[in-house]
Structure formats: C-alpha cells, structure tokens
Structure 1
Amino acid sequence: MKENQLSIDQSQLQEQERLFIALALPESMKQAFGEKMERIKEQLPFKRWVHPMDMHVTLQFLGDVPKERIRDIDAALRARASRISWPGLNVGVKGLGVFGRPERPSVLWAGIEADRTVLDGLYQAVVESMITVGFEPEQRPYSPHLTLARNYAGAMPFEQETLSIGEDVSSTEWNWRADSITLYKSNTRVKPSYEAIGVYPL
C-alpha cells in the first residue's frame, strides 16, 4: 500500500465502515506477543481474545461511519500529520491490568509506557483533526493500552493477584518506535478483524 493512499476499492465498501485511528505495532512484535498470550490464556479465562495481528494502541475510535466520509477523514489525517512537529516516540508494553468490575472484569489489557507529553500531544492532534470533519472526542481521559481479551469467564471471582503473570511483559522485546498513525476499518466477522486503510507518516 502506498503511503497516504486508501487501499480499498470504493465499490467494495459497505454503506458504513467501523473505523478507528491507532498506533500500529510491528508485525514481529505482534507475533511475539501472540506467543506470550497463549501462555497467559492458561491462567486468565476470558471469553474473547484479540487476534495477535489485530493488536494496536487506539488514539481515537470513530465508530460506524458512512463510506462517503472516509475521504474527508483521510484528507484531515494526511494534512494534520504533515504539520506535526514529531520528536519520535519510543513505545513499550509493561504489565497487565483490567477494566470493569473487579470481580468480573470486561477487558484485560497490557499497559503502555511512553513519553506521555509526546503521546498525549499526538492524541490531541488526532482529536483536533477529527473535530474538523465532525467527530467529537470522548469525554473520559485518554488511557493508552493494548486490549488483549474481553469478558472474564472464570467460575470464581477474578483475583487481581493473577495479573502477576504479566510481570515479564517488560523488556526490550516489547518496545518499538512509533513513526506513523494508521486509519483502520473493522470487520468482526473475520480474523484478523482490522485492516489498515490509511497510513500517515509523522
């Protein structure tokens, strides 16, 4: 796929596409983390696990978007990325956590380590670019993470102590340098579910 070009045939688009903007992980890191997830699954029973090739760090979720708006989104991201003064960003993965009820969490995630001044600035730039094409930001604070699984399915209440299985998710193996943002579309009927349709170098 050429940089800054949509990779999909417009005739194949559905009436709406579910879209989000994210930092992509290197393919080699996705594969390595997939192997780690297989070991985590043995101790953390969740119903739905994310396909390793779908792993990403969300910047903004756009939701179901009419197909005719995709080119405006693409243009806004391309224009904003070309204006960002980007010092570069080393991103790391460290430890595990959960969202939702402590006894039955809805999401299992891996934490993100990065220069938050730089990452938050990038997040804000993305949000501002999307405001120009009609997308309002979420009201809750930005909390970067890697979603690993959804819906705890254990017979007993979840115990926070089991998250210690992720203590070794903190090494040079789980670090990369982010140099672009990516626009993805989602198709939950297939695995992997996410397809990059626009890449915007910083």
Structure 2
Amino acid sequence: MEGHHYFFALLLPQHIKSYLHEKCEQIKMEFPFKKWVHHEDYHITLAFLGHAQEEQLEKADMYVKDVLSHSEGFELALHKLGVFGRQDSPRIFWANTKESQQLTDIRKLVYDSCTKAGFKLDPRHFAPHITLARNWEGKDRFSLEALKPFALEEIIFTAKHVVLYETHLNKTPKYVIKKTYLLC
C-alpha cells in the first residue's frame, strides 16, 4: 500500500468517457499538453485522501457507505471545456458539468465522512471537473478562444456510482477501483 494514493470520485458512465476521449483525440493535434489523461481514468474527484493507513481507509469506507446508502442517483449534463492555472499556459485542461446541487450534496457527504475518519482534506471550494490533460507545452500561448470549435455537446447522463480509487503511477490506466458505492 505504501506509495499509493487514494481518493473518492464520481464514476462516469462509459459512454461519457468515450465521448470525452473522442473529443480529446480531435483536440490533441492543436493543443500540445504534456500529458493527456487515459480515458478510463476520467472521473470527478470528491475527496482526495493521499496516502492512507488501512484502518483509516476502513473507517472512511464505513462512513461513506453509511451516508451514501440513503442517496439516490442523479442527472448531470456535460457543460464546457476550461483550464486551471495561467490562462496562457494552463496547468490543467478540463471538462465540467452544469452546476448540480445533488453533486455538491454528494461531495459534502463524502468529504465530511473522510474528515470524520481522520483525513486532512483540501479545504478549497469544490470545483467539480474532469481532468483531460496536464501542463501546456505549446510554443504559442494557450487560447480559450481557440477551443470554441471543440465545444462540448450538452449530454445528460445519470450519476449512479461513487468509487474509492487507488492510484498506480506505473500503470495505464492508473486508477484502480477499490470500492464501489451504488447511488440507488
């Protein structure tokens, strides 16, 4: 377990991962990012735990399982592409979903469960997104305006699963599902 990171995430349906992968294949030629995320690793992070002891993971699992047992699946809609970091040389290229109170509520339940289990989590405002690529390497400045021809379709999908992922940096895809929580 040493050297592995863990995090809770909203699992995306396969057709959404495939759609985003096709979109990234169209974009890659014009937008040189250093690392494109493998499409099987697309997700929305709810709580990043980092390194964890087995006992602490078991507590988080128990708390998350309990709070999510009363939660229902909900609809989300793909919304737009964007970046984090400097606008001319971004660190993260992402897709997001339309604002969703249900997603915010699920995130709060998971986040609070993890803090109850003793994890020290990032206190920043929740900005749900799907990381597509990292670290701009273009000779020219990055331009959000140039992304307009690649705008996302507003595809509605149902979020039905939260998962606990374990990170394996030496594998592709690098995230392995350790636990799955069904939203009824």
| Aligned 8 A contact 1:21 1:61 in 2 | yes
Q: Which runs of 5+ in 2 are unaligned?
A: none
Q: Does residue 1:198 correspond to 2:179, yes or no?
A: yes
Deviation at 1:187, TM superposition (A): 0.7
Residues 51-70 of structure 1: per-residue CA shift (max 9 Å, x gap): 00100011111111123432
* Counterpart selection for 2:89 from 98, 104, 110: 104
The 5 Å alignment of 1:1-202 reads: 14-84=1-71, 86=72, 88-115=73-100, 117-167=101-151, 169-172=152-155, 175-202=156-183
Distance in 1, Cα, partners of 2:4 & 2:35: 22
1:158 is paired with a residue of what secondary structure? Answer: coil
Distance in 1, Cα, partners of 2:117 & 2:164: 15
Q: Which moved more, 1:180-189 or 1:28-37?
A: 28-37
Distance in 1, Cα, partners of 2:124 & 2:57: 25
Distance in 2, Cα, partners of 1:165 & 1:19: 36
Deviation at 1:114, TM superposition (A): 4.3
| Aligned 8 A contact 1:89 1:177 in 2 | yes
Deviation at 1:135, TM superposition (A): 1.5
For normalisation by structure 2, the TM-score amounts to 0.92
The number of residue pairs the alignment matches comes to 183
Q: Which moved more, 1:156-165 or 1:66-75?
A: 66-75
Letter in 2 for 1:189: N
Q: Which runs of 5+ in 1 are unaligned?
A: 1-13
Distance in 2, Cα, partners of 1:83 & 1:17: 30
Deviation at 1:72, TM superposition (A): 2.0
2:21 is paired with a residue of what secondary structure? Answer: helix
1:140 is paired with a residue of what secondary structure? Answer: coil
Q: Percent of aligned pairs with the same residue?
A: 34
1:23 is paired with a residue of what secondary structure? Answer: strand
Q: Which moved more, 1:25-34 or 1:177-186?
A: 25-34
Superposition CA RMSD, Å: 1.6
Distance in 2, Cα, partners of 1:61 & 1:138: 8
Tell me which residue corresponds to 1:7: none
1:30 is paired with a residue of what secondary structure? Answer: helix
Distance in 2, Cα, partners of 1:101 & 1:134: 33
Letter in 2 for 1:80: V
